[in-house]
Amino acid sequence: MSASRTADNRILDLFRQGLIRGTVTGGQGNEGLIVPLALLADKAVDVISFTHRDLGGQLIWSSHLVDHLNQYFANAASPTQAREGNIHHGDPRNRSLPMISHLGIMVSNVVGATDSQRRFGRPAVGFAFIGDGSSSTGDVHESLNLASLLGVPVLFVIENNRYAYSTPVSEQYAAGTELWQRAAGYGIPGSVLDCTADVAANLRTFSAAIDQVRRTGRPMLIEAKTLRLRGHAAYDTCDYLKPGEAEAFFAADPLPKLRARLAAGDGGAKLDALDAEIAEFVENCLKVALAQARPDPAGMAADLFAPPAPPLPWVPSLESNPQSDIQDPKSEVLTMAQALNRALHKILAERPESLILGQDIATYGGAFKVTEDLFKEFGRPRVMNMPLAESGSTGYAIGLAFNGHRPIEEFQFADFSTEATTQITLNAATMHFRSGARLPLVLRFPCGGGLTFGSFHSEELESFFLSMPGLKALYPSTPQDAFNALLAAFEDDNPVLLFEHKGLYRRGKHPVTWDSRYRDVWNPNRVRSGDYATLVTYGEMVHLAGEVGDYFTSEYERTFDLWDLRALSPLRLDAIKESLARTHRLIVLHEGRRTHGFGAELVASLTEELFFSLEAPPLRLGALDLPVPFAPELEAVFRPTKEKVIDSIVRWMG
Ligand SMILES: Cc1ncc(C[n+]2csc(CCOP(=O)(O)OP(=O)(O)O)c2C)c(N)n1
Ligand SMILES: [Mg+2]
């Protein structure tokens, strides 16, 4: 506790001297909570995600003070390679999940990583910390519900220091401030503990709680009354405190109280010696950290994604068992939904680290029946129905992936992924860049319109998500590509969005075979060749573009070099650029909205080097810049149709 306090105070000085940038949110006053807990945790198996008040816990869990100082100085030796600041570093190798600023978000990650440990047969407990302020976030509610529902042994600890920045608890909740009572609503035990009082007694209480969680495999909620002695952050003026409040906080400080008790024995001289040792240690650490080089920008781009892993040793057959009673295991005629079902079956059968989760995917087989019968064969917990909690479920999947599982999450409709935007774009997508941790996670997005589903069941979200860095994305247009894409996405060590157009799920049956070159889906596919223009598209529009191509061949004797992009991220455009260098005309077609649409990126990337060789301005075709309208007559006007695309191209040719 003393080492943590001394280091926190020194970091505050350094901030005031201008040597540390960013935000310094000290843990002064919180040591009576975090230090006992971190001491009691089993650092060999347990899972944790520290908050911005938990330096003492980080020091005990796995890291050295020099790591933290390097992080604060944002130097070359920083645990995040200076790509993240403040105290936002974890320690992936030791199951410490690095926090992001968005409070509440990490809690479901702890639930997932702890469940992953348990699935691997390790008797882990998860430690999830929540401030009194963050306890109002939806993710905390979703995570408490999930942990209780799934029976995941997580100790949820509310660090109640009575303030969220400047806002007192009285302005945060109307229904009483005894936050521990919320536990009853989740069917889990809850209790309250004053962490400013008797640290030794609290050590025993925490120890009993951890034992119970470990033994029962059930979560528990503890509200810990704690302190925030230095206000919210180094820059906080604290003028919102009531008269006498700051003085009362200092009077309740657990550290001097503990010290006085220890000194009252015969420990006075010993404590003085220890304090001197700590002070010297902190100064020595500081010297080491200050001597580190400034960070090198060179590796940044290469670290956005985890490097490609070797292919998994798949059984070379559609089925996991080549001896199965299928007539011709080499080729079958399948819809896209069936092809995806086959790929999921293969993955579940061959890869024990796989699991699938989503709403109604178990007995019901999913809204589009893509997971049909998988539950019957693999059962829970490999095939998991989830509650309506997309952010918590995605956070749970992130935790599983962080700890070595390979989850595949089905969103009932791609539209509902917006509920999980922070988990996907800010947490999962940035994980490798900031922490070096691999995150093999597939998010299946049944997307697209044309089916009279209206604004909230028809979205094309590729430009929405892919404007954020760190996500891979595949968008297959055929059953074979869908099968291949699922295997390729599954074995990738990064979060991959798999866009599945709902209109393609049952658009006829097509041959699907085991294809040893399944990773080719990361490259665009030339669907037909031509010389008048290069037409780039993806998803359902590939089929529409084929019909448009037929029309121009027969009516105008003009042929298109038609490309199915297949992978939207990372973009591999070299082959299409070669095509454009030959045709000198570019048409980009997609179903999503035109303005801010994915086509804008394609046109820019494809033409910036070839601009002066073009014989026509690029033609960019997409939907109208409106919400997806409901009635078929309105949706037909909104979306690109064969007739409208033909008209646009004719006008453009003119
Ligand atoms: C979701 C979210 N909204 C806003 C913020 C900005 N913010 C940072 S800390 C903080 C107060 C947090 O209060 P609490 O959860 O009680 O933790 P404490 O700082 O008191 O330990 C706020 C509002 C944030 N980080 N995350
Ligand atoms: Mg607080």
Mean pLDDT, range 412-424, rounded to an integer:
98
Question: 90-127 in b/e burial notation, b at 16+ Cβ within 10 A?
Answer: bbbeebbbbbbeebbbbbbbbbbbbbbbbbeebebbbb
Residues 434-485: pLDDT tens digits?
999 999 999 999 999 999 999 999 999 999 999 999 999 999 999 999 999 9
Mean pLDDT, range 370-385, rounded to an integer:
97
- Kindly state the tokens that stand for 523: 């490259």
Ligand 1: residue of 103, 135, 421, 423 to mutate (most ligand atoms within 8 A of CB) is: 103
pLDDT band at 322 (very low <50, low <70, confident <90, very high): low
| Exposed/middle/buried for residue 233 (C-beta within 10 Å: 0-12, 13-18, 19+) | middle
Q: Which atom of ligand 1 is nearest to the CA of 103?
A: 26
Longest Cα–Cα distance of the chain, Å, equals 100
Phi, psi of 131 (to 5 degrees): -80, 165
CA distance linking residue 320 with residue 329, whole number of Å: 10
- Nearest CA, atom 13, ligand 1: 164
**The predicted structure's pLDDT at residue 265:** 83
Name the pairing type of β-strands 510-513 and 331-334. antiparallel
Name which of 539, 610, 518 is nearest 573 in CA terms. Answer: 610
Q: Which atom of ligand 1 is nearest to the CA of 52?
A: 21
DSSP helix/strand/coil, 495 = strand
**The predicted structure's pLDDT at residue 358:** 98
Distance 161 CA to ligand 2 centre (A): 5
| pLDDT at position 327 over 80 | no
CA distance linking residue 645 with residue 638, whole number of Å: 12
Cis link prior to 381 (omega < 30° from 0)?
yes
CA distance linking residue 621 with residue 619, whole number of Å: 6
Distance 162 CA to ligand 2 centre (A): 5
Q: In whole angstroms, how far apart are CA 279 and each of 7, 54, 104, 292, 399?
A: 9, 19, 34, 21, 37
Ligand 1 site, residue 619, Cβ cutoff 6 A:
no
Distance 131 CA to ligand 1 centre (A): 7
**The predicted structure's pLDDT at residue 336:** 98
Q: Is the dihedral of CA 488, 489, 494, 500 positive or negative?
A: positive
> Which contiguous run of DSSP H or E holds residue 511?
strand 510-513
**The predicted structure's pLDDT at residue 266:** 77
CA distance linking residue 619 with residue 423, whole number of Å: 35
Q: For tokens 């394609």, name the residue.
A: 602
Mean pLDDT, range 76-102, rounded to an integer:
96
Name the pairing type of β-strands 167-168 and 163-164. antiparallel
Distance 132 CA to ligand 2 centre (A): 5
User: Which active-site residues does the annotation give?
Assistant: 457
Distance 163 CA to ligand 2 centre (A): 4
**The predicted structure's pLDDT at residue 606:** 98
Helix/strand number for the chain, H first, E second = 22, 21
Q: Do residues 502 and 447 make contact, with C-beta atoms less than 8 angstroms apart?
A: yes
Q: Do residues 652 and 619 make contact, with C-beta atoms less than 8 angstroms apart?
A: yes
Q: Which atom of ligand 1 is nearest to the CA of 165?
A: 11
Mean pLDDT, range 335-357, rounded to an integer:
98
Percent of the chain with pLDDT over 70: 99
DSSP assignment of 153-203 equals -EEEEEEE-SEETTEEGGGT-SS-S-GGGGGGGGTS-EEEEETTS-HHHHH
| pLDDT at position 522 over 80 | yes
Ligand 1 site, residue 88, Cβ cutoff 6 A:
no
CB atoms within 10 A of CB 252: 19
Mean pLDDT, range 286-303, rounded to an integer:
97
Q: Which atom of ligand 1 is nearest to the CA of 233?
A: 19
Q: Which atom of ligand 1 is nearest to the CA of 53?
A: 21
Distance 148 CA to ligand 2 centre (A): 24
Residues 115-174: pLDDT tens digits?
999 999 999 999 999 999 999 999 999 999 999 999 999 999 999 999 999 999 999 998
Ligand 1 site, residue 53, Cβ cutoff 6 A:
yes
| pLDDT at position 176 over 90 | no
**The predicted structure's pLDDT at residue 324:** 56
Ligand 1 site, residue 159, Cβ cutoff 6 A:
yes
Mean pLDDT, range 328-354, rounded to an integer:
93
- Nearest CA, atom 7, ligand 1: 165
Distance 132 CA to ligand 1 centre (A): 9
Residues 240-293: pLDDT tens digits?
999 999 999 999 999 999 999 999 987 889 999 999 999 999 999 999 999 999
- Nearest CA, atom 17, ligand 1: 131
**The predicted structure's pLDDT at residue 215:** 98
Ligand 1: residue of 132, 134, 195, 229 to mutate (most ligand atoms within 8 A of CB) is: 134
Residues 566-600: pLDDT tens digits?
999 999 999 999 999 999 999 999 999 999 999 99
Bridge partners of 401?
A: none
Cis link prior to 570 (omega < 30° from 0)?
yes
Q: Do residues 437 and 430 make contact, with C-beta atoms less than 8 angstroms apart?
A: no
Side by side, the strands of the sheet bearing 533-537 are 525-528, 560-564, 533-537, 586-593, 619-623
Ligand 1 site, residue 163, Cβ cutoff 6 A:
yes
Name which of 311, 226, 170 is nearest 51 in CA terms. Answer: 226
DSSP assignment of 587-599 equals EEEEEEESTT-HH
- Nearest CA, atom 9, ligand 1: 165
Residues 531-550: pLDDT tens digits?
999 999 999 999 999 999 99
| pLDDT at position 17 over 60 | yes
What is the number of the ligand closest to the CA of 165? 1
